[in-house]
Homo-oligomer: A and B are copies of this chain.
Amino acid sequence: MDLEKVFHMKGGRGETSYSENSSLQKKAADKVNHITVEAIKEMFLESKPMSLCIADLGCSSGPNSLSNIKELVNAIERESRKLFERAPEFRVYLNDLPTNDFNTIFQALPDLYRELKKGRNHGSPSIYIAGYPGTFYGRLFPDKCLHFIYSSNSLHWLSRVPPGIYNEQGDSTNRKSIYISENSPPKVAQAYFEQFKQDFSLFLQSRSDEVVVGGRMVLILLGRNGPNYVDRGTAFLWEILYRSLAILVSKVRC
């Protein structure tokens, strides 16, 4: 299965859409908001670009991405005001896989632009927002163009099901489970780890070609507290999902 072509959060703005069900993701991003803002400020004060380029990798289609962009633009504007300088031009690149619902996010842009204009007597900042569809496990942007790379709640999604979980017959060795559970053999955890290493290396390698000297990167992704790969904190939701899927499959009459 080509994940790049099919994987996406649920689009639109309906009751079951990602847009209406991403407060958990917002909470995680809010928790480290001070780090994010500090990082972009630091970069700005060091290099003072005339045109500042921000990329949000795995933006999805909810309100989180745009509220985050607003926050970053506001922070840089505040710094510019303190220095009695004009704010830079902002280039914002929103990235997700090609099947992401970019339409919903694009339709919210006129309101964002209007909001950014509000309460600004001396004109609003020049801000140009673009969608860049594609996998971040590979090149996405031109050479040396990004000043600030941001990715929240995305990098724990691997590029594919780790091939190491299959035996020679092509069957999963993970005892029908869909995640690293207490019953998974150690080989399964190792296979996920190998896939993550490979994906994350490719991610860093790609970004290193795209980021300018002095650029910054803030990555927010799920982790766990201890060395034990079976972690209640992160595995809890997977277990519910696994059980629901198992019940669904058991009801299929062939």
Contact = CB atoms under 8 A, between A and B. Distances in A.
A126 B142 CA distance: 8
When all copies of this chain in the complex are counted, the total is 2
A128 B140 contact: yes
A139 B109 CA distance: 14
A143 B110 CA distance: 20
A17 B147 CA distance: 39
Interface residues of A, number: 30
A98 interface: yes
A106 B142 CA distance: 18
A130 interface: yes
A4 interface: yes
A11 B104 CA distance: 13
Given A98-B107, A110-B5, A142-B91, A131 B130 contact: yes
Interface of A: 4-5, 11, 51, 89, 91, 93, 98-103, 106-107, 109-110, 126, 128-134, 139-143
14 contacts: A4-B110, A5-B110, A98-B106, A98-B109, A99-B103, A99-B107, A101-B103, A102-B103, A106-B131, A109-B134, A128-B132, A128-B142, A129-B133, A131-B133
Closest CB pairs A-B (n = 10): A106-B133, A130-B130, A131-B131, A98-B106, A103-B103, A130-B132, A102-B102, A98-B107, A128-B142, A91-B142
